Amino acid sequence: MRKAKNMLSKQMPYLTDNIVPIIFIAFTLLGFALTDNVPINYFLSELSSRFYRNAFIVLSLIIPVIAGLGLNFGIVIGAMSGQLAIIIVRYLSIEYLHLSGVWELFFCIVLALPIAAFIGFLTGRLYNKTRGQEMIASLIVGFFANGVYQFILLFATGVIIPVRATHPMIKPDGVGVRMTVDMGELHYSLQNIMKTPFMWTVLVVSAVLLTLVVALYLTGRKRPDKGNKVIFIIKVLLLAAIIAYSVFAIATKNNITKVKEVPTVTIIFIGLLCLFTELIMKTKLGQDFRSVGQSQHIARSNGINVDKTRIIAVIMSTVMAAWGQIFYLQDMGTLNVYGAHTQIGMFSVAALLVGGASVRKATVSQALIGTILFNSMFIMSPEIGKAVFGNALLGEYFRTFMVYGIIGMALGIYVWNDNRKARITLDPIELNAQDN
Amino acid sequence: MLKNEDKQNNTVKKNLDIPIVKSIGLPTLIIAAFFLLVMITAAVLKQSLPILISDILRRFGMNGVLVLAMVPAIKSGTGPNFALPLGIICGLLAWTIGIEMGFVGFKLLLITSAIATVFAVATGYFYGKLLNAVKGAEMTIATYTGFSTVALMSLVWLMAPFKSKQMGWMMGKGLRETIKLDGVNAGEIINNFLSFEIIGIKIPTGLLLTFFAFCFLVWLFFRTKTGVAIIAGGSNPAFAAAAGIDIDKNRIIANILSTVLGAYGIILYSQSYGFFQLYSGPLMMAFPAVAGVLIGGATASKANISHVIIGTFLLQGLLTASMPVANQLFAGTDLSEIMRVILQNGIILYALTQVKGGGK
């Protein structure tokens, strides 16, 4: 939404700032132009189900960015905590408790909280010790934790922690958890609580957004200067168009109503997390995050406990990532014990950046837009590879390149700009950091 | 100013003359003790020590130059070269071009090294420029430069118009993931040069000689005027700039050297293995090399040749020896691989906690 409006306002700085989202929109449109075998309802079904799976985890990245920790690749550890919770709950459920799917899900969520919070605390302390190098530290700590995770599940389970060798989740020789664990009743446990047709959901969500936008504008929270007015009108028109189209689609029952139904509870959870992230910024803690993110030096002299604030940010991010991974896996149906988490950090970070976020700035709407754009690219690139080069594999390599390239480019541009600014301002703290 | 200069000279001297013993840090000692423990366990378990030692020597020589590539980068102040895959890819591309041109044996090796040098110098130049633009976050940017280049090269491997039967698939386009060097008479070609056996231990003379020769050359380089200037720029940029040293240029030179060593490193590595891997093969190869030099006692801002030799020997020795031992003690588990992951990333994290500065 915001991207389209930036292009319209023809403001060059906006255009260059949002070059990444624009490339992605162009890429997806190119995909549609080149391939004629991607029906729109298939595309939307794919895209929407990927969105429900990933949005929660991408949202978990926002708070560390605001608190100045940069992009927290360490959410991989959160994902591992979520998986540990699932494995423990599933093991106990099969062995003794025989819970129903929703209860299993509930216990997973409850159990993941202390595990992720504890590990988040440890990683937070680590980031405090590797100040200035948090991003590389978070990447490496993810690899490190993966080793510990494998040690616990492949070796300690059965050798140190007693388990029943004939349990269906344990390897035949009694040591280690199997490569894949069936999610049993946990599969779709969140999805199946309630489902609503796609277009109806779109209708309701856009109606709510429209009232929200209008209400915010009328109460005058945003200064009514000229740019805001244009943005406001575009927003209203866009939402109105979506509402009109959904009414039309529902009335005529056209192709687009065949898009997969929406898992209502998942959407509500994602909405709640958006709300939480927005609201926490209005609290004292949120203000602390922001001032620590802007300058640790100034925050400290204002009496904020910088280290503690940073640790809290990491704990929040880790816990949310753990929950996000649980929601993701209940949708997938099988847990790939040693592989499900490995890529989640890179993909989520790339998605956030695609939405237009940077190392120091991220918003909820950037996370949501980024998730949509990134996954569109993911769906389209094998199709483009097939259409242009007759080779779907090429498209897959290409999208891997996009993931790494986007992250590298976003980081590079950010640091480069930062260094240029530092050279102009001659800020003593900046210079000091450079000397070291 | 004069006093400052003295101090600077002293630190430079200290960097160069530290006796090996002094530079041994706590992590190095722990790993060394662990290595000894594993070797003793191997002996108690009646594993064949000569075979084990032969393996350790081979792995030591194989990985050596890749670890050595860290030294110029660290000395110049850009931190460990997490973009080692750049150099590796230059080496791999040179292999494929050499094989495509139809060379075999020693001729292939020479041509490959020559082509690799050209690629690596060019790549290293641009990589050095990039690092100069992103001062303060070199390690993170380097990692993603490496990652994205590996991903981009996957496209090249798939589309490259190579015809050689040694490298292509039976049908379809593109190069294979693993390409054997035995087919072009280049497998273990350096290893077997002058190699001999004592009490069952196979000494890969050529491999070790090549590794030590590179160590010597790098050691020599850091005694030249350019080398000393690079060290000065790395350890105290403000002073070096005041003394009229072009730090940015020196950082570029150091990273060219590092990239070239990465390219030679992979050539040495793959000839010893007998094959090389394209596509995602080089993706994670920077991390063991970084861990290697750190285990030897280097930090993110200080590294010597002795760190390379000690670190490579300890890390590769430990990994090689622990595999059969772990397999015998805990059959069916992949304990040595798990240990590698924990050890390698643990030591990098430890080094990151020692990095000073940052945090606005």
Q: pLDDT-derived band of residue A259, with 50, 70 and 90 as boundaries?
A: confident
When the pLDDT of each residue in chain A is averaged and rounded to a whole number, the result is 84
Question: Higher confidence at residue B21 or residue A288?
Answer: A288
Residue-level pLDDT at B264: 95
Does residue A118 surpass a pLDDT of 50? yes
With an 8 Å Cβ cutoff, are A143 and B139 in contact? Answer: no
Query: What average pLDDT does chain B have?
Result: 86
Longest dimension (CA), chain A: 71
Determine the residue among B345, B350, B354 to mutate to test chain A binding: the one whose Cβ has the most chain A Cβ atoms within 10 Å: B345
Indicate if the pLDDT at residue B1 is higher than 70: no
Q: What is the chain B residue with the closest CA to A436?
A: B357
Window 397-426 of A: residues touching B by CB (8 A cutoff) are: 397-398, 400-401, 403-405, 407-408, 411-412, 415-416, 418-419
Instruction: Say whether pLDDT at A12 is over 70.
Output: no
Residue A257 CB contacts under 8 Å (≥ 6 apart), including other chains: A197, A198, A199, A249, A250
The predicted pLDDT at position A424 comes to: 62
- The percentage of residues in chain A with a pLDDT greater than 90, rounded to a whole number, is 32
pLDDT (0 to 100) of residue B185? 79
Euclidean distance between CA atoms A265 and A140, whole angstroms: 35
Of the candidate ranges A100-104, A345-349, B51-55, the one whose mean pLDDT is the lowest: A100-104
Tell me the percentage of chain A whose pLDDT exceeds 70.
90
* pLDDT exceeds 90 at position A408: no
N- to C-terminal Cα separation, chain B: 29
Tell me which of B268 and A188 has the higher pLDDT: B268
- Surface of A (218-257) touching B: CB under 8 A: none
Which amino acid is present at A424? I
Is A397 in contact with B82 (Cβ distance < 8 A)? no
Which of A326-340, A395-409, B16-30 is the least confident region? B16-30
Greatest mean pLDDT among A224-228, A255-259, A366-370 lies in A366-370
Per-residue confidence (pLDDT) for residue B243, from 0 to 100: 86
A371-398 per-residue burial string, b: 16 or more CB within 10 A, e: under 16? bbbbbbbbbbbbbbbbbebebebbbbbb
Contacts of A357 (CB under 8 A, 6+ apart): A65, A363, A366, A367, A370
Asked if residues A323 and A109 have their Cβ atoms less than 8 Å apart, the reply is: yes
The class that CATH gives domain B48-352 is: mainly alpha
pLDDT of A431 > 90? The answer is no
Task: State the maximum Cα–Cα separation within chain B, in Å, rounded to a whole number.
Answer: 70
Q: Quote the Cα angle for A356-A359-A364, to 5°.
A: 50
pLDDT of residue B27: 81
Looking at residue A16, what is its pLDDT? Answer: 63
Question: How many Å apart are CA A404 and CA B16, to the nearest integer?
Answer: 38
Residue B145 in contact with partner chain A when CB distance is under 8 A: yes
- Four-point Cα dihedral B131, B135, B141, B146, nearest 10: 20
CB–CB of B332 and A173 under 8 A?
A: yes
ipTM of the complex model: 0.86
Q: Are B204 and B272 in contact (CB under 8 A)?
A: yes
Residue A396: both structure tokens together:
């897959």
Amino acid B17: pLDDT: 45
Is it the case that residue A85 has pLDDT exceeding 70? yes
Q: Would the pLDDT of A425 be above 80?
A: no
pLDDT for A126-143, tens place per residue?
999 988 888 899 999 999
Chain segment A146-156, per-residue pLDDT in tens: 999 999 998 88
pLDDT band at B222 (very low <50, low <70, confident <90, very high): very high
Domain extents in chain B: 48-352
Residue B359: is its pLDDT beyond 50?
no
Residue B55 has pLDDT above 70, yes or no: yes
Mean of pLDDT values over A84-101: 87
Contact residues, chain B, for A393 at CB < 8 Å: 158
CB contact under 8 A, A398 and B155: yes
CA dist A13 and B37 (Å) reads 61
Residue A102 is predicted with a pLDDT of 87
**b/e code B299-324 from CB counts within 10 Å (16+ = b):** bbbbbbbbbbbbbbbbbbbbbbbbbb
pLDDT surpassing 80 at residue A13: no
Residue A9 has pLDDT above 50, yes or no: no
Residue in A136, A78, A29 with CA at minimum distance from that of residue A408: A136
pTM (predicted TM-score): 0.87
**Which pLDDT score is estimated for B171?**
66
State the Cα–Cα distance between residues A245 and A219, nearest whole angstrom.
28
Q: Does B348 touch chain A (CB under 8 A)?
A: yes
Q: Calculate how close chain A gets to B338, using CA atoms only, in Å.
A: 5
B87-146 pLDDT per residue, tens: 999 999 999 999 988 888 889 999 999 999 999 999 999 999 999 988 888 888 999 999
Q: Which of residues 153-182 of A touch B (CB under 8 A)?
A: 154-155, 159, 173, 175-176
pLDDT, tens digit, 9 for 90 and up, residues B160-215: 888 887 787 766 678 888 888 888 878 888 888 888 888 888 889 899 999 999 99
- A contact residues 116-155, partner B, Cβ 8 Å cutoff: 126, 129-133, 135-137, 139-141, 143-144, 146-148, 150-151, 154-155
Q: Mean pLDDT across the stretch A279-287?
A: 92
The confidence score (pLDDT) of residue B357 equals: 53
Of A97-111, A209-223, B66-80, B316-330, where does mean pLDDT reach its minimum? A209-223
| A176 to chain B, closest Cα gap in Å | 8
User: Does position B150 have pLDDT exceeding 90, yes or no?
Assistant: yes
Residue in A126, A136, A297 nearest the CB of B143: A136
Q: Which of A179-188, A291-300, A375-384, B23-32 has the lowest mean pLDDT?
A: B23-32
